[in-house]
Amino acid sequence: MSNTLNERLKQARKNLGLSQEYVADVMEMHRTTITAIEIGSRKVTASELKAFAELYGVTLNELIYNEENKNEDKMFARAFSSLSDIDKEEIMNLIEFKKKFKERKIKERYLMNA
């Protein structure tokens, strides 16, 4: 992940394939505000940071401190590696389904607020 908060916010948005315009609409901001935040020329309030974390599906620790829950990742990796190929494929399909479901919820929320 990136080094600064503004870079982490930008990367989290890009990881979801969201445009600045879309994020601005959902966050009820101007697109130029999102740009200013992502280049580091505007600070983010605590309530905005919480809203970004919810929108991007990341924790506040990931955004603020660049900390991911590495213990959970290690536990998942160990458990995943011990599964059969069929079970691994089923889990990967479930992960893909969850991503698409989350994207749909974000889009629905955007349409409701438009």
**Does residue 1 register a pLDDT over 80?**
no
**Does residue 67 register a pLDDT over 80?**
no
What average pLDDT does range 62-70 have in this prediction? 76
Give this prediction's pTM: 0.61
Coil, helix or strand at residue 2: coil
Specify the pLDDT at position 31: 96
The architecture (CATH level 2) of 1-68 comes to Orthogonal Bundle (1.10)
Specify the pLDDT at position 80: 81
Range with the poorest average pLDDT among 12-16, 58-62, 72-76, 90-94 = 72-76
Sequence spans of domains, the chain = 1-68, 69-114
